[in-house]
Structure 1
Amino acid sequence: MTRASAFDAVTVDTLRERGSLKWTLYGDDSLGAFVAEMDFGTAPPVLEALHAAVDAVDFGYLPPRAAAGLAAACAGWQRDHYGWAVDPDRVRPLADVLNGFEIAVRHFSRPGSPVILPTPAYMPFLSLPAALDRTVIEVPMARDNGRHVLDLDAIDAAFAAGGHLLVLCNPHNPLGRVHTAEELTALSEVVARHGGRVFADEIHAPLTYPGHRHIPYASLSPTTAGHTVTATSASKAWNLPGLKCAQLIISNDADAATVERLGPYTFNGAASLGVAANTAAYTAGGPWLAEVVAYLDGNRRALADLLAEHLPEVRWTAPEGTYLAWLDLRPLGLGDHPARVLRERSGIALVDGPDCGAPGLGHARLNFATPRPILRRIVAGIAEAARRGPA
C-alpha cells in the first residue's frame, strides 16, 4: 500500500477515536476542518523518538543537552532547506509560537506601542495583544493580479501612527501566500525607515508547493536580521501541536544580549517529549514530509475541482503554502459569520472568517489536510447546507 492510499484509508471513525480537539469539540456528527492540524499521523522517525523517550521514562525537566540537540537540528534544517546560516546558540526552545509572540511584544517592542497586524490573520494575534496591554492596528491585505499582497502604504501609515512591532506570518495563515524575496525586501525598507521591529511567524515554512520557496525574512539582509525575531516549529509540518515545542531564533547581537539578560525562565515551556519529536522531525523526517506535501498538493487540486463542481460561486485562490484555504462565501448568502451557519446546518466545522479580522466578514478558513474522501464529504456538505438558502 502506498503512503498516499494509506492517507486515503484513514476514516472519520478512526479520527474520532484518536480524540483530538479537531474531531471531538463539536460532537460525533461533525466534520472537523477548523483547527490547524493534519489527519495523517506523523513521521516514523518521530514515533521512534517518542517511543524511545517513553521507554527511557524521559519525563523530567528539559536538560541542556536536549535543548542543544534541538537547536542544532533546527539550525540544520534552516541551513539545508532555506540557505539560512543560523547559530545554534541563538535558537531557544519555547512552548509554542504564541509564547514567542508574547516575548517579542514584551521585550522587543516599544512599551505600550500598538501591534501592526496584516489581516486576515491567525486568530490569537488579534486577541492576545489585549492581554499584554497592547492594541492592534489591523492592516487589511491588498490584492494584486488576483493575489493577496502586503499593503506597504498602509503598513507605513501604521508605523507612522505609533505601531512598532509588525507581525509577519509567512507562509501566511490563513491566506496561504508564500512571499517572494522582492515582496519581503520592499517590506523591510518600510520597517527600517521607521526603526520598527518584525515578529516573523514561520511555523508553516516546510509546507510550500511546487513553484514557491520559503525565504526566512531574517535571512534577507543584515537589515532584516537586525530587526527580526523569528518563531518556528516542526508542529505544523509533522503534526505535533499537542507536544508543545517551538523555537525562537535570534538573528542579531543586540537581541542576543537581551535574551541573556532575560534569563532561562523566559524560555521555560518546551516539553521534553516535544523537543524529542521536533529534533527527530528536523533530522530524519524529511522523506515523510515530502510525501505529505505531495498528498496535500493533490488535495489542493482536488479542492479546486470540488469547489468548481459543487460551489462554483465560492471565490478563492489556491494557497501557495500551508494546508489552509481561505474561502469567500459571500455569494452563498450565509451572512457575515458563515462558519457558524454551516456548523449549525451541517455539522461541518470551519474557522469563522471574522475571527481572523475585519476582512474576514463572509469568509471562512478550511483545513484540507484530511483524507481525500473526507474532503469530498466536507465540500458536499457545505454545498448541501448552502442550498437551504440565505441565513
Structure 2
Amino acid sequence: MYDFDQVINRASTACQKWDDLQKRFGVHDAIPMWIADMDFKSPPPVIEALNQRVKHGIFGYTSRPDSFYEAIIDWVNRRHHWQIDKKWIAPSPGILSALSLSINSFTQQGDKVIIQTPVYHPFSQIIKSLGREVVTNPLNLKNGRYTLDFDDLESKIDSTVKILVLCNPHNPVGRVWSLEELTMLGEICIKHNILVISDEIHCDLVYRGYKHLPFASISEEFANHSITCIAPSKTFNIAGLQTSCNIIPNEEIRDIFNQSINNQCIGSPNAFGIIAAESAYRYGEEWLEQLINYLQGNLDFVIHYFQENIPHIKVIRPESTFLVWLDCRELGLTPKELDEFMLNKAGVAMNEGYIFGVDGEGFMRMNIGCPRSVLEKCLCQIEGAVNFLCKA
C-alpha cells in the first residue's frame, strides 16, 4: 500500500504551488489548492529509475529509445483500448506548447478557434496571443452536470473556423465525454473541415464507473482530422519533467507539426523526462490504481462535507481529474469579492472561476490531490468563513 496520507513539506523546493503563493496571490500563508499538481510522491519505480540515472553521472544530449515509444503504445492500448502506431507519436515538451504550435501551423491570422467554456484558461490566452479569434461554445449546466451544446456550436461555425480545442476529460468541470457526445462533436467538425485538437492530459485519472474514450479512437475519419495530446505529467505527478506526446495518425498533419517542433528547436528531450515517462507507463499502474481509490475517497469526503456543513456551496461532481469545480453563486458575492473571501477570510488559495471564461464567474476550482488531513483543514476554514459571512 502506498501512503497518500503522508504530508510532505514542499516549501523551498521552487514549487510553484507552495513557493509562488506570494507572487500569485499576494499572501504566503494560505493553503494552496490551486495549480494542478498533486502533493504526493511519484511512483517508487519512477523515483528509483531517476536515482539510477543520476548515479550514472553524465547528463548529455539525449535521444528517445524505442522502449520509450513502446511504453506509450502499450499504455494507451492497455488503459484506453486504442492501438496506435509508433510513427504517429510526435513528442513535445508539453501540451500547451503543442497547442500553440498547432494553432500557429494550421491557422492564419484572423482565423477562429473554438473552445468550450468554462475551460482551461491558457487555451484562450494562446489563441489570442497568436492573433487568432476565440469563439466560445459554452457548456450547458443543468442539475449539477455539464453537457455539450451542439446547437450553439453549429450556430458559431463559419468558413473562418479552423480548429476546435476539445478538453477530454474536461478541466475544470470534470466531465468524461461519452461516445455519443464525441461522435456528434466529431461529425460536426468533419462536416465543416475543422481540425480537432484533443487535450487528453487527464485521461488516466478517471473515477470508477466512467471510462475515458480517446476522440481519435472512434473512427479512422476522426483520427485523420485530429491531434491527440497526452502526457504522464498529471497521472504520475511529474509535470516538472516536461515530457508529453501528441498522437497524429494523419501523415500530412504530423509532418507539418514535426516541422514546427524542429523550427522552434524544442524537439530535444529532457533526459530525466524520458526515464520518468517510460518507467511510469511500464511500472506505475498499481500505484495509479491506489491513487484513484484515494482520490475517490477525497472526492466523497469533499461532497459529503459541503452537503452537511457548507450547503451554500455546491460541488459539481467530477467524473475525472483531481480538480473540483465549486458553485459558489449562492454566497451572493461578485467574482472579485469571492476571490478575496476565499483567500483572506477562508485562507485558501484556489483558481478563480472567471479565468476559465465568463461562464466560470461565481465558481472556484479546488485541487483535491493532497493528503486528506490537508483537505479537511481547508474545508474547515471554508466552513468557518462561510458561517461568518451568512451570519453577518
**Common fold: TM-score over 0.5:** yes
* Residues 1:58 and 1:277: Cα distance change in structure 2 (over 3 Å): farther
Moved more, 72-81 or 334-343: 334-343
Question: 1:284 matched to which residue of 2?
Answer: 283
Identify the match of residue 233 of structure 1 among 218, 223, 231: 231
Q: Percent identity?
A: 33
* Residue matched to 1:10: 7
1: CA distance, partners of 2:296 / 2:147: 22
Name 2:88's counterpart in structure 1.
90
Q: Please tell me the residue identity of whatever aligns with 1:23.
A: W
Q: Distance in 1 between matches of 2:115 and 2:249?
A: 22
Contact (CA 8 Å) 1:310, 1:380: kept in 2 or not? no
In the aligned structure 2, how far is the partner of 1:129 from the partner of 1:110? 11
Q: Distance in 1 between matches of 2:263 and 2:294?
A: 40
Structure 2 counterparts to residues 164-179 of structure 1, below 5 A: 164-179=162-177
2:326 aligned partner:
327
Q: CA deviation at 1:64?
A: 4.0
Give the CA deviation at 1:128: 1.5
2:59 maps to what in 1? 59
Contact kept? 1:71, 1:92, Cα under 8 Å: no
CA RMSD of aligned residues (A): 1.9
CA 197–58 in structure 1, closer or farther in 2 if over 3 Å, else same: farther
**Structure 1 residue 339: deviation in Å?**
2.8
Is 1:25 equivalent to 2:50 in the alignment? no
Q: Match of 1:74, as an amino acid? A: I
| Separation in 2, partners of 1:224, 1:144 | 29
Off by >4 Å, runs of 4+ in structure 1: 260-263
CA distance in 1, matches of 2:293, 2:64: 36
Name 2:24's counterpart in structure 1: none
- CA shift at 1:140, angstroms? 1.1
**Corresponding residue SS for 2:131:** coil
Normalising by structure 2, report the TM-score.
Answer: 0.93
Determine if the alignment matches structure 1 residue 375 to structure 2 residue 370: no
Q: Which residue of 2 aligns with 1:249?
A: 247
What is residue 147 of structure 1 aligned with on the other side? 145
- Give the Cα separation in 2 of the matches to 1:222 and 1:299: 38
Residue correspondences, number: 384
Moved more, 285-294 or 134-143: 134-143
Superposition deviation, residue 104 in structure 1: 1.4
1:273 Cα deviation after fit: 1.0
Alpha-carbon contact 2:90-2:258 (below 8 Å) kept: no
Match of 1:77 among 75, 78, 82: 75
Equivalence map 1:124-143=2 (5 Å): 124-143=122-141
Give the Cα separation in 2 of the matches to 1:161 and 1:380.
51
Amino acid at match of 1:160: D
Q: In the TM superposition, what are the counterparts of 1:222-371 in structure 2 within 5 Å?
A: 222-259=220-257, 261-262=259-260, 264-266=262-264, 267-268=266-267, 270-337=269-336, 338-371=338-371
Structure 2 stretches lacking a partner, 5+ long? 22-26
From the superposition, tell whether residues 381 and 161 of structure 1 become closer, same or farther in structure 2 (CA, over 3 Å).
farther
Task: State the alpha-carbon separation in 2 of the partners of residues 128 and 77 from structure 1.
Answer: 30
For residues 198 and 378 of structure 2, the distance between their equivalents in structure 1, rounded to whole angstroms, comes to 32
- Can you list the C-alpha shifts for 1:161-195, whole angstroms capped at 9, x where unaligned? 73221111111100100011111001111101111
Tell me which moved more, 373-382 or 196-205.
373-382
- In 2, the alpha carbon distance for the partners of 1:345 and 1:336 equals 15
CA pair 299-58 structure 1, distance change in 2 beyond 3 A: farther
Q: Is the 8 A contact 2:139 2:146 kept in 1?
A: yes
The residue that corresponds to 2:184 in the other structure is 186
